[in-house]
Amino acid sequence: MQHYLRGVKFMYDADANAARTVLPGCGPLQLAQADRSGGLRQQVFVHVRAMGQASRADIARGLGISAGSVTALTADLIQTGFLQEIEDQPRDAGRGRPPVALRVVPGARAVIGIKIADTRHSAVLLDFSGTLLADVSMPTQQARKPAASLVAELATLVDRLLAAAGRDMCDVVGVGLGISGIVAHETGQVPWSPLIAGRDTALAELAAARLGVPVRIDNDANVLTLAELWFGTGRDRPDFAVVTVEHGVGMGLVLNNRLFRGSRGLGLELGHTKVALDGALCRCGQRGCLEAYLADYALAREAATALDCTVPATENAALIDALYAEAKAGNTAAATIFRRAGRYLALGLANVVQLFDPALIILAGERMRYDYLYSDTMLREMHALTLTEGRTSCEIATHVWGDLVWAQGAAALALADATDAALGA
């Protein structure tokens, strides 16, 4: 199913599990043409993968290199099993045979992407061209687990994924993991996650030891941003932000076609930027964080008061659904809670626009099915809080993805890493 929507239109579909756009290929389009960090052989491969298919002349033009270099480099990539010529190209009537196009060899060199979550893990198997070969999800017990238990669950998930695809681990060259919390991408450490008992877990190392292939990790918001950059609306956008509203509020930022991770690689904690002095208490222990007004526990706290009931934190989602139904049925107190949350979201987004001036902000996450959070009122408020004189206003899009899209973003982590390993200078 494809639900890629541009502009402020919105669609909710719990099965919206395919981040594919109509564009062929995968990976950031502009980076494929502009990046000179890898060697030429890698640039040719990345270019063909991004375009879906390309003739030798297209490659020479796209990368600004000589036809002779392209001939030598593509011969090498074909011989080593990365690229192949497409045999049956349609003839252009009256013009004879078109130039032979190249594509990434389908099915070869697979990577796995996994979204680790609180009630259900999801995984996808992609080949080196980014084509989805199989996907599975597996329910899990909602609890903070010791790292060893979590890694054992991942191993089971991977077994099921490979069985579904009729593959084995020999075909897999890398795994990407997305997990919520504070995640140090470069070192593979998880200083803190709501899903892991204990602190400073060497998650990438533990998972790599168990699975026998390199493992890269990143936080949820970053892997969703990678899904947009590699497979979605962000493919042809050099600068955009993704803001996720789930259990917490996360953010991923692409600057100049690359995911920006900050100097310590800990991610952008939009949810813990302050929107009030001495404000509401946040789960991080500080006061006045955006998340303390917008995340599910914040809405649940207010819902419990408005609906005059108490429920355990594990049932926050059901409580907020009940609150939403009340709001839709005309309960003013319930509607006010959502509108207020929408105003705080407007404040947070306006701050993102003022700081980074992105061309596009993609709103994503489970909570975005509550329409107050992306209403015209919220957007008007956001624009009113932004100084836009002489500039066009930032485009806002709302995507509600299923877990497999997050897993696809995690697979992009592995794809990028495995491409560097296989073809890097």
Binding site for Zn ion (CB under 5 A): 272, 282, 284, 286, 289
- Closest to Zn ion by CB, 284 or 379: 284
- Closest to Zn ion by CB, 107 or 288: 288
- Closest to Zn ion by CB, 23 or 280: 280
> What's CA 338's distance to the chain center, in Å?
26
Instruction: Name the minimum Å distance from CB 285 to Zn ion.
Output: 7
- Closest to Zn ion by CB, 282 or 396: 282
Q: Nearest 10 degrees: CA dihedral of 261, 266, 268, 270? A: 170
Q: How many CA atoms lie within 13 A of 349 on its CB side?
A: 33
Instruction: Name the minimum Å distance from CB 286 to Zn ion.
Output: 5
Instruction: Name the minimum Å distance from CB 55 to Zn ion.
Output: 52
Backbone phi, then psi, for 327, in 5-degree steps? Answer: -60, -45
DSSP classification of residue 133? E
Rg (CA), the chain: 23
Query: Would you state the structure tokens that stand for residue 88, as one six-digit string?
Result: 């049956």
- Closest to Zn ion by CB, 138 or 182: 182
d(CA 66, CA 57) in angstroms, rounded, equals: 9
Instruction: Name the minimum Å distance from CB 296 to Zn ion.
Output: 14
Instruction: Name the minimum Å distance from CB 247 to Zn ion.
Output: 13
- Closest to Zn ion by CB, 270 or 413: 270
Instruction: Name the minimum Å distance from CB 282 to Zn ion.
Output: 3
Per the CB < 8 A criterion, the answer to whether 157 and 121 are in contact is yes
DSSP codes, 39-51: -HHHHHHHHHHHH
- Closest to Zn ion by CB, 132 or 300: 300
* Residue 367 three-state SS: helix
Instruction: Name the minimum Å distance from CB 42 to Zn ion.
Output: 40
Query: Would you state the structure tokens that stand for residue 15, as one six-digit string?
Result: 């099965």
DSSP classification of residue 372? G
Axis-axis angle for helices 332-356, 296-306 (nearest 10): 160
d(CA 157, CA 159) in angstroms, rounded, equals: 5
